[in-house]
Structure 1
Amino acid sequence: MLHFYHRADDPWSHLLLQVLPTLLERYDVPLRCVTVPLPPRDYFPRPDLVARHALRDAVDLCRHCELHFETGGVPPSGEDAELASRRLLAAQDSPSHYLALARQVGEALFRGDKARLQALCGPQALPREAALRRLEANQRRQLEAGHYNSGMLAFGGTWYWGVDRLPHLEHDLLTAGRRRPDASVGVLRRRSMSLPPPQGTAGLRGQPIEIDFFCSFRSPYAYLAAERTFGLQRRYPVRIRPRLIVPMKMAGFAIPELKARYFRADPAREALRHGLRFGNFRDPFGPGLERAMALVDFAQRSGKLEPYLLSVMQGVWADGIDTATDDGLGRLAERAGLDWHEARKELGAEDWRGWAAANRAELERIGQYAAPTYRMGDWVTWGQDRIWMLEREIQARLASPSVSGALPARVCT
């Protein structure tokens, strides 16, 4: 059984439901659709920022993939989202009907078309109190099953988020012998791009394109992203500017164990996908993180910032090295080409606290709160699974230097 946890006002859920009919055509697996509410606040500390980012990311995804998303530019109201959920709860017994209805309801909801939404929901929506009880029960069962978020698929005890984890799901369905005869693999298709390759070594107006890379030593996803991110500098005329932040937990956000478990399991399969070692990790939370941050300025002055960041991230997430000890941090510093005798003199430095706080404030100003986040001009994206999109955006800017970097039109088909 394949379970689909759908939230009516979640753009990533809306994109995912568009590819599920094709998935069911190609794989012999029954589907159960479950309508869920917004995750509990412990799991979703900044729902306002996530909601705005999700709209922007959905528009970007359908520019590059064969998906459709149309938005009025603001997240749906709570009242409209509740009405949509009440209607979908009444349709959960028929997966095919649910997927078709959810797409229609979602299109009206994200466009802000209240008349269309009312017409689709009408008297068939569950009464409010009954719907709230059903949503609460669905959420409780999902948490008991092992996850907290919407836009999720579950199969065989494994979880897959959004369209981004469809390759992992297809692999597991193939392994389980669920592919139908003569069915092709790859339900998510990217749009073709007819762009010339980058020419020369100069960026716009002769200068490299600057890309801010908001990252953290404590983020496994930043580790997965770092080597590929810096590698862009050797393939395109771009300059990567690392902007380290203090991780959410040290900034006052507690991470529930259920979420922490997923943040260990999901990066492991993504690391395997990208050929990176992962799993022998030593959490740098607290003194280990502070000591590693204290050497960032020294590494930059020494011209070794990139190798230092890569060395520490690999040490934390793949080598099991304790940055809270002189032996551990010293090994990582020397591996990056730093003089540990000189570097250890910087361990008492406090300047990093100021720029780390400024980086987090800037991250929030642009509508984000987690690492890794990328900013190129006024284009922003979030996640190690958006590097392919970042690369396409770089190519587009190099092919059309007059492009300002503004967000594309809100309607994508």
Structure 2
Amino acid sequence: MEIDVFWSFRSPWSYLATRRLRHWQEQYQLQVNLRVVYPLAIRMPEFFDQVQPQWISYFVTDVFRVAEFLELPFAFPKPDPVIQLVDENGRRETAPDQPYIYRLTRLGALAEEMGASIEFADEMSSLIWGGTKGWDQGDLQARAAERAGLNLEEMDRRIIAEEERLEAQIEKNQTDHEHSGHWGVPTCAFKGEAFFGQDRLDVLLWRLKKEGLQRR
């Protein structure tokens, strides 16, 4: 049995879902196909111009609350994986120069091909969103990749040499995401059904068990 998970490195909700999904793959006869996509700030930067004024305050409250409930460390990352500029009215605009998110997403796409997508996503998102200061500095990312069984130096070489192919893979992920039944992340897809958000994982597990999911 397998599920697709459409997932972004810039999404705290993706981070908060990943540890459970990784445990499912370890505990059940389940293949978790974690498929990276670019975040809304890259794909649909105008999205943030259309949200209700209460959205950001509720979002901040809720994400810390859910992290505490799940007993996962959480802090907004510095630097932000997507650089945004804020004008005098508080409106956010995605900056033209993005030193982090393209590399991270291509690394995630390569990890998919190497059969370690959920492990890499878990370790790297834990580094980014788990309160580590300067997650982009030193050997922190290399050590996170190593915990996932991967060699970051080799991966960095490959994402440069294979950029066009990896971008095509990310584009396919995004197209399949759009056809899955939802546009947000994380979205899990199983047999034509979409389960959006980390708060739908229990419902997804119930569905998988109804379909015959067995423990390893």
TM-score by length of 2: 0.77
User: Rg: which structure is higher?
Assistant: 1
**Is residue 2:77 matched to residue 1:281?**
yes
Contact 2:111 2:117 (8 Å CA) reproduced: yes
Q: State the alpha-carbon separation in 2 of the partners of residues 371 and 321 from structure 1.
A: 24
2:22 and 2:119 in contact (8 A); partners too: no
Shift in CA distance, 315/355, structure 1 to aligned 2, threshold 3 Å = same
SS in 2 for 1:380: strand
Per-residue deviation at 1:226?
0.7
Q: Does 1:376 align with 2:168?
A: no
Q: 2-side partners of 1:391 and 1:235: how far apart?
A: 12
1:123-170 Cα distance to aligned partner (Å, 9 max, x none): xxxxxxxxxxxxxxxxxxxxxxxxxxxxxxxxxxxxxxxxxxxxxxxx
Unaligned runs of 5+ in 2: 83-97
Give, in whole Å, the separation in 2 of the partners of 1:284 and 1:331.
Answer: 18
Partner of 2:173: 359
Alpha carbons of structure 1 residues 325 and 259: separation in structure 2 relative to 1, 3 Å = farther
In 2: Cα distance, 1:271 partner to 1:362 partner? 29
- 1:370 maps to a residue whose letter is G
Describe the shift of the 1:249–1:395 C-alpha distance in structure 2 as closer, same or farther (beyond 3 A). Answer: same
* Cα distance between partner residues in 2 of 1:374 and 1:253: 23
Pairwise CA RMSD of aligned residues?
A: 2.4
Q: Are the counterparts in 1 of residues 116 and 148 from structure 2 also a CA contact under 8 Å? A: yes
Letter in 1 for 2:60: R
The 1:368/1:298 distance shift into structure 2, 3 A limit, reads closer
Cα offset for 1:243? 1.2
Number of the residue aligned with 2:151: 339
Write the deviation string for residues 42-101 of structure 1: whole angstroms up to 9, x where unpaired. xxxxxxxxxxxxxxxxxxxxxxxxxxxxxxxxxxxxxxxxxxxxxxxxxxxxxxxxxxxx
Alpha-carbon contact 1:284-1:324 (below 8 Å) kept: no
Kindly report which structure 2 residues correspond to 1:76-91, keeping only aligned pairs within 5 A, or say none: none
- Determine the C-alpha separation between the residues in 2 that align with 1:301 and 1:326: 26
Partner of 1:296: 108
Identical counterparts, % of pairs: 27
Deviation at 1:299, TM superposition (A): 3.0
The residue aligned with 2:131 is: 319
Aligned twin of 2:62: 266
Match of 1:392 in 2: 206
Question: Residue 306 of structure 1 corresponds to which residue in structure 2?
Answer: 118
Between the aligned partners of 1:323 and 1:247, the Cα distance in structure 2 is 19
| Structure 2 residue matching 1:295: 3-state secondary structure | helix
Choose 272-281 or 230-239, whichever is displaced more. 230-239
Report the AA paired with residue 368 of structure 1.
H
User: Are the aligned partners of 1:214 and 1:363 in contact in 2 as well (CA < 8 Å)?
Assistant: yes
Q: Any conservation in 1 of the 2:159–2:166 contact (CA below 8 Å)?
A: no
Match of 1:220 among 12, 15, 20: 12
Residue 270 of structure 1, CA deviation: 0.5
TM-score, scaled to structure 1? 0.42
31, 41, 45: which is aligned to 1:239?
Answer: 31
Higher relative contact order (CA 8 A, sep 6+): 2
